Amino acid sequence: MSFGFKYGIPVDADFVADMRFLPNPHWVPELRPQSGLDDAVADFVRSRPEAEEFLASYVPLLAGVTAGYLREGKRFMTVAIGCTGGKHRSVAMTQEIAARLRDLGIEAKPVHRDLGRE
Model pLDDT for residues 2-38, shown as the tens digit of each residue = 999 999 999 999 999 999 999 999 999 999 999 999 9
Residue spans per domain, the chain: 2-103
Residues 27 and 51: their CA atoms lie apart, in Å, by 18
For residue range 71-105, list pLDDT tens digits in order.
999 989 999 999 999 999 999 999 999 999 999 99
Q: If DSSP codes are grouped into helix, strand and coil, which group holds residue 7?
A: helix
Q: Is the pLDDT of residue 117 over 90?
A: no
Amino acid at 79: V
Helix (H, G, I), strand (E, B) or coil at 17: strand
Question: Which residues, at least 6 apart from 89, have a Cβ–Cβ distance to it below 8 Å?
Answer: 19, 20, 22, 24, 25, 36, 45, 83
CB burial class (10 A; 0-12, 13-18, 19+) of residue 8? exposed
